[in-house]
Copies of this chain bind each other. A is one copy, B any other.
Amino acid sequence: MAKLSDSDNLHQHISKQFDNELLDIRSRVLFLGGLVEEQIESAVKALIEGDVELANRVIKDDDKVNLMEVSIDEECTQILALRQPNARDLRLVVIVIKTIIDLERIGDEAKRIARYAIDLTNHPANYTQLIELEQLAEHVRSLLHDALNAFSRMDVDAALKVVQDDKLIDMEYESIMRKQIAHIMEDPQSTPVSLDIMWSSRSLERIGDRACNICEYVIYYAKGKIIRHISIEQVERDLQIE
């Protein structure tokens, strides 16, 4: 009897440890997400204010993002090997592996923006160009923040909202691109400036796409359904039927 109780205790103990490990990777994803949000904020600030020192810090700090991604990735593989999770726990580990890849690549985009910021100090942009870019950046950061909140609560509705909101980001991005092309054609000397603005906008637009990827993983975790490549309307219909 005592033996069984020991075994029960051991089982509970292992199960508790395992729960803690799962909680740990979730909170580390959010920490990485926070780091990446800061990188975007600093990169855009460096670009708007022509702050080379800040841009260089973003480029340097990308190493922190990379190291953290590798470390969480290794923790996930350890969990798969040692705990052999299934069902929801397995899905959690799999989506963490995918989410951190997207976060690390968002970090790469922030680094790219920091490089455009340095390049832009050679040929400053005008006020209107910067304001539009700043607005886009603000919306993209807010989208990523919402995506991370959806991840933290594994909230399907919040995740769906992010995927929908990304359409507005795409429209905003297209508008900036059109204006910059017109700008180049009117004033060819502004080409290098306009291209820096265009590349930075595209990096921001890609960050929006990656925020959506994270939300798709959240929906997969909660519903066990891969929703990539399905229209948002179809997903909402599918989820309502359940």
Contact = CB atoms under 8 A, between A and B. Distances in A.
Interface in A50-79: 63, 66-67, 69-70, 73-74, 77
Interface residues of A, number: 31
A70 B192 contact: no
A235 to B, nearest CB: 14
Contacts of A226: 70, 73-74
A55 to B, nearest CB: 20
Contacts of A94: 77, 80, 97
Interface of A: 63, 66-67, 69-70, 73-74, 77, 80-81, 84, 86-87, 90-91, 94, 97-98, 101, 181, 184-186, 188-189, 191-192, 195, 226, 228-229
A74 to B, nearest CB: 7
A84 B93 CA distance: 13
A188 B194 CA distance: 13
12 contacts: A66-B228, A69-B228, A70-B228, A73-B226, A80-B80, A81-B90, A94-B97, A97-B98, A181-B191, A181-B192, A181-B195, A184-B191
Q: Determine the main DSSP class of A at the interface with B.
A: helix
A200 to B, nearest CB: 13
B98 A77 contact: no
Contacts of A86: 81, 84
A185 B189 CA distance: 6
A229 B63 contact: yes
Contacts of A188: 184-186, 188
